[in-house]
Amino acid sequence: MRGFRFSDYKPGDTPQGGFDELLKLFSELLNYTAGDASEALSWLNELDKQYQLTNNDYGIGNFIDDLKERGYLTEDNQSGEIKITAKAEQTIRKSALDEIFGKLKKSGRGNHNSNQSGIGEEKNADRREYNFGDSLDQIDMTASIQNAQINHGIGDFTLTDRDLEVEEKDFKTLTSTVLMIDISHSMILYGEDRITPAKKVAMALAELIKTKYPKDTLDIVVFGNDAWPITVKDLPYLQVGPYHTNTFAGLELATDLLRRRKTHNKQIFMITDGKPTCLKENGKYYKNSMGLDRKVINKTLNMAAQCKRLKIPITTFMIAKDPYLQQFVRQFTEINGGRAFYSSLNGLGEYIFEDYIKNRRKTVK
């Protein structure tokens, strides 16, 4: 007989000190130490002293040896310097993906509209009732028959259009995305670490694209006084600098990168916590951190308009709650025709993932 059997839950002893548990914690610490393995291991030692993470059979020394043997760490024989390997970098990205995408699958953000797709080629997890005009190959017959049995019973089998369950599909569209990350000094001011969540989102998004949408492209641009591209490999080591916020330079570089892409769907995601405060003219920096400088703002808004002409929408994720910044963000968004979210650090990943997946899908009405 098919079915479920329930019994009392009897919790066992939680294993402590194993390699897998310590690896998860070590990967998380690497995000906060900008990829510095020695500093992360030092913090791990302190946490072990305070919370007894290891046991008598497996200590931090054993863990370090295993990290080296399994290819997560390398040690310079002359200087003794310990560095993480490409395998460790990939582990950090996967960990970030599991953390963010796992939350998204459990429960989506409440203030987003549901994704619309339609007749396509790639199945996704969305299910809905049948609507007139849906093609037959979209109907999940197994689920529809089950619905009919539940709704009408099995004695006199009846199948109506209300019982039909449609499996949504996505078009195999290609999307080119540039993720802009603000690395100005304010990203670590006021007792709040904003750069680490931004790095984790970038690593998770890169891993998602690599595994689920391998034909899509992701470029990463960081901007402070200047803007420059970085690779996914650089992300664990990314740190905030003593910089102002040259949003114009970041947008200009992002636009240049997207021009080279041959895809039709292009977009910019910008993570920032402040207003534009800097420009570079004739090799010199023009800076004004005191307020919304007209010269800086106007040039930034002009860049937003240029992106609109190129059909490049910009989604701004503002991770600061200063009311006086909202007016600028609203104006910036209106000129570009993009979107803006005022997100907490905890919800940043889910917002970006939902928006990325939603933008990939072609809406069919």
Query: Do residues 240 and 195 lie in contact, with contact meaning Cβ atoms separated by under 8 Å?
Result: yes
Give every CB contact of residue 292 below 8 A, 6+ residues apart in sequence.
275, 324, 328
More confident residue, 29 or 168: 29
Phi, psi of 164 (to 5 degrees): -70, 135
Spatial separation of the C-alpha atoms in residues 219 and 232, rounded to whole Å = 8
**pLDDT at res. 184:** 94
Q: Does residue 84 carry a pLDDT above 70?
A: yes
**pLDDT at res. 295:** 96
Give every CB contact of residue 312 below 8 A, 6+ residues apart in sequence.
255, 258, 266, 267, 268
Mean pLDDT to the nearest integer, 325-345:
85
Phi, psi of 223 (to 5 degrees): -140, 135
Q: What is the DSSP letter of 236?
A: G
**pLDDT at res. 109:** 40
Cross-strand partners of 281: 284
Measured in residues, the chain has a length of: 365
Q: What is the DSSP letter of 58?
A: S
Q: Does residue 356 carry a pLDDT above 90?
A: no
Read off the tokens for 212. 């689920």
Spatial separation of the C-alpha atoms in residues 318 and 44, rounded to whole Å = 32
Query: Do residues 73 and 81 lie in contact, with contact meaning Cβ atoms separated by under 8 Å?
Result: no
Q: Model's pTM, two decimal places? A: 0.74
Query: Do residues 273 and 182 lie in contact, with contact meaning Cβ atoms separated by under 8 Å?
Result: yes
Please report, for the chain, the start and end positions of each structural domain, with discontinuous segments joined by +: 19-84, 123-169, 175-364
Closest CA to 206 of 99, 90, 84: 90
Q: In this structure, which amino acid lies at residue 271?
A: I
Per-residue confidence at 124, pLDDT binned at 50, 70, 90?
A: low
In this predicted model, what pLDDT tens digit does every residue of 211-237 receive, in sequence order?
Answer: 888 889 999 999 999 999 999 999 999
Of the listed ranges 37-46, 311-320, 331-340, 345-354, the least confidently predicted one is 345-354
End-to-end CA distance of the chain: 44
In this predicted model, what pLDDT tens digit does every residue of 160-188 receive, in sequence order?
Answer: 888 888 887 655 578 899 999 999 998 88
**pLDDT at res. 119:** 39
**pLDDT at res. 108:** 41
Spatial separation of the C-alpha atoms in residues 31 and 56, rounded to whole Å = 28
**pLDDT at res. 116:** 35
Mean pLDDT to the nearest integer, 330-346:
85
Mean pLDDT to the nearest integer, 41-68:
93
**pLDDT at res. 6:** 55
Of the listed ranges 245-254, 304-313, 320-329, the least confidently predicted one is 320-329
More confident residue, 274 or 299: 299
Q: How many helices (H) and strands (E) does the chain have?
A: 10, 12
Query: Do residues 182 and 238 lie in contact, with contact meaning Cβ atoms separated by under 8 Å?
Result: no
Per-residue confidence at 11, pLDDT binned at 50, 70, 90?
A: very low
**pLDDT at res. 169:** 66
Spatial separation of the C-alpha atoms in residues 104 and 347, rounded to whole Å = 10
Whether domain 175-364 has CATH 3.40.50.300: the reply is no
Look over the chain and give the mean of its residue pLDDT values, rounded to a whole number: 83
Q: Does residue 114 carry a pLDDT above 90?
A: no
Percent of the chain with pLDDT over 70: 85
Query: Do residues 300 and 275 lie in contact, with contact meaning Cβ atoms separated by under 8 Å?
Result: no
In this predicted model, what pLDDT tens digit does every residue of 243-273 receive, in sequence order?
Answer: 999 999 999 999 999 999 988 889 999 999 8
Phi, psi of 49 (to 5 degrees): -65, -40
Per-residue confidence at 13, pLDDT binned at 50, 70, 90?
A: very low
Query: Do residues 286 and 279 lie in contact, with contact meaning Cβ atoms separated by under 8 Å?
Result: yes
**pLDDT at res. 15:** 44
